[in-house]
Structure 1
Amino acid sequence: MPTDMKIALVTGGSSGIGFAIARKMTALGMRVIIAGRRKDALDRAVGELGANASGIVVDVSSPASLETLFSQIRIDFGRIDTLVANAGGGVHAPLGQITEAAYDQQFDTNVKGIVFTVQAALPLLRPGSSIVVVGSTSSIDPGPSMSIYGATKAAVRNLVRSWVSDLKGSGIRINIVSPGPTNTQSLRDGFGEHAEEGLAFLREKSPMGRIGEPEEIAEVAAFLASDAASYINGVELFADGGASQA
């Protein structure tokens, strides 16, 4: 591997937005590590990404699993130039139908997972490196049945507000890209048998008359990670066609 090749880690990188970000970064000439819970999905994604990609199994809700991940990266690469903390998910449940299991699942992955992913990565990040957290417009506009998911994303936004001060003097930047509804299988799965009605509602809500594509979110994440964004730090950048502002 060339010594000047940048190293990127993308959690939740085997599908959806995470995979699109990983593909964009490999296209930019980076050495990309994708991490996720399912080895079969990681293997398929690595096969599509090509020779400059590798996959490592991790459960971001487990600090012990994260320690194994970063120990392996330290051995194999010695550093990380870009961390994309993307792993997360949501469960539709209106008030009155929220279960403890769904609550725990979302907070463990979306909040605890972000906290300990970023914290465990710090020793491998150098001055000039960048952290991009994938949030959601649900941080300000969760909509019906997504209160818990929205709460997790609002929590992440406030974590970053604090961390940008904690990282003062380190030379490490941290920002959030918050997508609106994006054309992924997980979005469709979330609506279940009402997928078409749900997608129609989201298109109607959008000032642009459509939902986003994973590749569009990847472009924003790549920008925030790049030297072109060298003076952007601590922001939440909404990539949603204006839907959350309408």
Structure 2
Amino acid sequence: MRFEGTNALVTGGSSGIGYATAAALIAEGADRVYVTGRNAQALRTAADRLGEKAIPVVADASSLSDSAALADRVRADGVTLDVLFANAGIAESRSFAETDEAFFDRTFDINVKGLFFQVQALLPVLADGASVIVNASIVANKGMANLSVYNASKAAVRSFARTWANELKARGIRVNAVSPGATRTPIMENGLKMDADAIAGFDALLAAAAPAGRMGRPDEIAAGVLFLADARSSYVNGIELSVDGGFAQV
């Protein structure tokens, strides 16, 4: 029960990696885990499954007012956060030639601007010595086709971890990035619009190209997040932890 007595917040926790991380924190003894999402019904369903230690707060990561309200909610509860997993984000596919300004702005408003100001808003309710983990991606280093905007947004997230680790050192707050590889989550259908054949084709690619030979599971990414959140990783700061089955490593 390594997180007994701690309070955590996971953004984008209605499904996928965020949900798996919230579940893992609760299973490891966290006192309370705030979980955010844009869709109130999906968030409520997730919170019901997670149990009484999960506290759902509807918040859109791209909304600065929602981020301020989220911080106010934590403050009103008299809570300081020991762990923050800034996970909320989108992934959408569009070729370079076909990308318009609206598509670009949507991705950066959520993945970059939204994450930046959401973490900033939560700084006053972070405990000294807290652990902040931002969700980047191996795509920042892979340059996958038709994902130029998404790839760049995740490179920015990785950069945030480096700078914030320096800026927050006076408070003993560690900031690290987790970079998942291909992970089987609803974002494949809902964001990337992949059908069953496309997912099967990607499975085949990974079987040949990745040492693990398969996609990751959300709980496997969550295990990496919990390592970075744990006080036993106290000398780990500013890093990018790739949890990708070796896909971007070899």
Shift of 1:78: 2.4
Deviations 1:170-229 (A, max 9, x none): 111110110000011212442423332233223332121111110000011011001111
Q: Distance in 1 between matches of 2:28 and 2:210?
A: 30
Tell me whether 1:64 sits opposite 2:65 in the alignment.
yes
- In the alignment, is the contact (CA less than 8 A) between 1:181 and 1:187 conserved in 2? no
The aligned counterpart of 1:232 is: 236
1:206 aligns with one of 204, 207, 210: 210
Tell me the TM-score normalised to structure 2 length: 0.93
Equivalent in the alignment of 2:226: 222
Alignment TM-score, normalising by the size of structure 1: 0.95
Q: Distance in 2 between matches of 1:203 and 1:118?
A: 37
> What corresponds to 2:245 in structure 1?
241
- Output aligned runs, 1:42-121, within 5 Å: 42-121=43-122
User: Over aligned residue pairs, what C-alpha RMSD do you find?
Assistant: 1.3
Aligned to 1:28: 28
Q: Which amino acid aligns with 2:105?
A: D
Return the letter of the residue paired with 1:170.
R
Structure 1 residue 158: Cα displacement: 1.3
CA contact (8 A) 1:142 1:149 kept: no
Structure 2 distance, partners of 1:166, 1:198, is 39
The separation in 2 between residues aligned to 1:134 and 1:157, in whole angstroms, is 8
Q: Equivalent residue of 2:104, what SS?
A: helix
**Structure 2 portions without partners, runs of 5+:** none
8 Å contact 1:206–1:241 — kept in the other structure?
A: yes
Is the contact made by 1:191 and 1:198 (CA closer than 8 Å) also made in structure 2? no
In structure 1, what is the equivalent of residue 147 of structure 2? 146
User: Share of identical aligned residues, percent?
Assistant: 42
Give 3-state SS (helix, strand or coil) of 1:243's partner: coil
Count of aligned pairs between the two proteins: 243
Aligned AA for 1:106?
Answer: T
8 Å CA contact 2:91, 2:187 repeated in 1: no
Q: What is the rounded CA distance, in whole Å, between the counterparts of 2:249 and 2:206 in structure 1?
A: 14
The DSSP-based 3-state class of the residue aligned with 1:8 is: strand
Q: Give the drift of 1:62.
A: 1.2
**More divergent stretch after superposition (92-101 vs 147-156):** 92-101
* 1-structure distance, mates of 2:194, 2:134: 27
CA contact (8 A) 1:126 1:171 kept: no
Ranges of 4+ aligned residues in structure 1 off by more than 6 Å: none
* Stretches of structure 1 lacking an aligned partner (at least 5 in a row): none
Q: Say yes or no: does 1:132 pair with 2:133.
A: yes
2:88 is paired with a residue whose SS is coil
